[in-house]
Chain A
């Protein structure tokens, strides 16, 4: 059936027939258009989904599937489904045994001995051994690999020296395959969070023969050898990746036979594809805020907080923020409840830098919202009114959601404290370079967890961390973090991080925690078993499409 708009268009076209275009041409054109419409029209009757096939959108081309050089969540979303490591994350981000069936920790907390299962196979049928881990970890740390995530294993004995090229003998690394089933790791100091690192992509095993055979192309479909629930079947660059079920996966074959991962960068297109039943599952990458509003009540919609926190940071070496009273006044003048209201993606206001899902988080770690007290504290600092404070530059990267946040901050500081704030925006990489080199007095930043432990957040503000752009340093804080890293009693450890969080966010007030980002997802009714976690890693092995 020819749709009405087509008929109108054709009528108009026939009327404006020109001397150059004959009536016959138009008849042919008409027939062609009718055939085309009928052919595409047939498409409407197609099935809404294919059983056992999951179609998702990963947004962009993964920069690389080599888990040593990959650094971004798109690559990890693919790797997490084709590989498993010594341990695996559970949906509530604990660690459970995987390639390792068990492990022993030496009394001094420095030596981990992993006992490997003997039934884990690579996709070409060879068994996964401790030697594959030894090769992988050595390669990750090798200077030639130039892996960004090499620092993940810097806790391993001599790892940093070997990675920096100062140590030439790889045998002195604290990494040893004792036999095919036993893998031993020696750390330079006890690290209570170490076990979490063994579930992360960067620490997965790798096959020396495959890497050596194919060189840089070992991650292409057909070359790649993996050990996870799925295998890489097809990789059409910048367009889609197809993962096929691995029937020999040691935990049993996954619930779907095929995953088609499309790379649709534009949110509204991806959302339209979902609405047209051409995608079965979408997340933030395919969600514009108005779509969240439209579907908030739908049973297909879900929202949950991630371990990613946005915050405002002070450069404590720059005036007026070299005075802790000014920092506290600013922190108390910002009502964090405003952020979720303007961003409208279900964000959670943050009271502390450690997110509530992790040990050590406490509601009173940060400064409360109290505009009256803020004014009094500002007066104590020597500014009778906010107008006396020189105008402050607030730097932010050029992104729509960030612009909304900083505008709200500017408004709150003006309204509650009478301070003038100028918004300065820079292109993303220029912004990064500026903040690294010479951070302005006030800037917006965010941090996402690498592993589910408070350490990933709290280490950030130690005086020796390269990402601490606030220039704030406190020997007491540094000492507390170092003790907490080695502490094996979880209760004592949580308490140490709680104290450190309070020192940083309340006493020294180096940053103002703002809110936790959330993941928004839509799942079609025929898809079951989507397991999401606050680390934002997507594991599809439990999913079924019926």
Chain B
């Protein structure tokens, strides 16, 4: 286990280096710069701005400077939010996204996995039809529609939940459900497909033949084994959910970091784009490492390959 973690950390470094380098190059290829605005600034002022942020230096030098700062854990400064550093911005926003994403993830797993299991166990019956109808609905209807619908029904018509803002635990309910909707639906389909495959295995029949009770077969043999593909997608899903969602944060006015993935690009806020990308990469690598550990716990066969 320890070697696996060490190995992953060593592998992560070149990956992060590559991500940083590629992102650095890509954002500078895009036309338009951070200081373009509808009111064109005099050349003298643009020169001052570029000098302040080292953008007047040749690109290779900018790259070296950036990498040196990165090595010190400094993600740079924002050109848009003038007096704030990227570290400040992400430190303020990430905890909010983490709470919301964590809630949504828990909700998605707690709803999606049982729903898929129910559908698989009642295959072809009404439970299956209903569960699959719900999950198709969840996958097809985008978050901004569900969010708007929730705001309208629970916030405006029934007035039982706040329509937005981030003031109390009550304010977390609608956004967490909105964010969990599509992953829950996806997990339900995945669990169903995987469980259907497992149900037909010989060892399930063996378990039943040796007289194991219905619920023990389901929990210990079918569910445990059908969770492997679910765990696989949970890695990237965790990274996506805890770094926030632009749509959900936008419609519920939540101060998370999901919005920066979009607005930083629109503002050509170079360091902030790189900062968000790197944080996402780090979280993705971490989540995938956890997935690998989970595999080993769930399926003893995988321990041999390590």
Chain A residues proximal to chain B, CB less than 8 Å: 3, 5, 16, 18-21, 37, 40-41, 43-44, 61, 63-64, 66, 69-71, 143-148, 150-151, 154, 160, 163-165, 216-219, 236-239, 262-266, 268-270, 272-273, 275-276, 278, 427-434, 436, 445-446, 466-467
Contacts and interface: CB of A to CB of B under 8 A. Distances in A.
B31 A433 contact: yes
Contact of B255 (A43, A165, A237, A432): A237
Contacts of A276: 155-156, 159, 163
B100 interface: no
Nearest to A164: B44
Given A238-B259, A269-B151, A429-B266, A20 B118 contact: yes
A69 B92 contact: no
A446 B38 CA distance: 8
B52 A144 contact: yes
B50 to A, nearest CB: 8
Contact of B42 (A151, A278, A445): A151
> Top 8 A-B pairs ranked by shortest CB distance?
A429-B32, A64-B82, A238-B255, A239-B255, A164-B44, A264-B253, A146-B48, A146-B52
Given A151-B41, A429-B31, A264 B48 contact: no
Interface string B122-152: 0000010010000000000000000010011
B229 interface: no
B166 A239 contact: yes
Interface in B35-72: 35-45, 47-49, 51-52
Contacts of B155: 272, 276
Contact of A163 (B45, B170, B215): B45
Contacts of A64: 81-84
B205 interface: no
Nearest to B148: A268
B52 A3 contact: no
A430 B118 contact: no
Nearest to B49: A146
Interface residues of B, number: 65
B31 A434 contact: yes
B253 A70 contact: no
A266 B164 CA distance: 10
A143 B164 contact: no
Interface of B: 30-33, 35-45, 47-49, 51-52, 80-85, 89, 92-93, 114, 117-118, 121, 127, 130, 148, 151-153, 155-156, 158-166, 170, 214-215, 218-219, 250-253, 255-256, 259, 266-268
Nearest to B268: A429
A272 B163 contact: yes
A148 B41 contact: yes
Contacts of B40: 436, 466-467
A484 to B, nearest CB: 21
Contacts of A147: 45, 48
A63 B164 contact: no
A444 B268 CA distance: 22
A467 B158 CA distance: 51
Given A21-B114, A40-B160, A144-B48, 14 more contacts: A18-B121, A20-B118, A146-B52, A148-B37, A150-B45, A150-B48, A164-B47, A218-B83, A239-B166, A239-B253, A263-B253, A431-B32, A432-B36, A433-B36
A19 B48 contact: no
Given A238-B255, A265-B250, A265-B253, A219 B32 contact: no
A395 B295 CA distance: 54
Nearest to A151: B42
Nearest to B164: A269
Contacts of A150: 44-45, 48
Contacts of A446: 38
Contact of A266 (B47, B89, B253, B268): B253
Contact of B48 (A143, A218, A431, A445): A143
Nearest to A429: B32
Contacts of B266: 427-429
A16 B251 contact: no
A433 to B, nearest CB: 4
A45 to B, nearest CB: 11
Contacts of B84: 64, 216, 237
B241 to A, nearest CB: 19
A149 to B, nearest CB: 9
6 contacts: A18-B127, A150-B44, A151-B45, A218-B83, A265-B250, A433-B31
A268 B250 CA distance: 10
Contact of A429 (B36, B52, B83, B255): B36
Interface centre among B92, B155, B253, by most chain A C-beta atoms within 10 angstroms, is B253
Contact of B165 (A37, A40, A143, A264): A264
Contacts of B83: 64, 66, 69, 216-219
A163 B44 contact: yes
Contacts of A239: 166, 253, 255
A143 B51 contact: yes
Nearest to A269: B164
Nearest to B80: A63
A332 B251 CA distance: 43
A63 B36 CA distance: 15
Contacts of B114: 18, 20-21
Contact of B117 (A20, A44, A216): A20
A28 to B, nearest CB: 14
B32 A430 contact: yes
Contacts of A272: 151-152, 155-156, 163-164
Of B32, B33, B214, most buried by chain A (CB within 10 Å of CB) is B32
Contacts of B47: 164
Nearest to A161: B44
Nearest to A469: B40
A61 B81 contact: yes
A266 B251 contact: yes
A21 B83 CA distance: 53
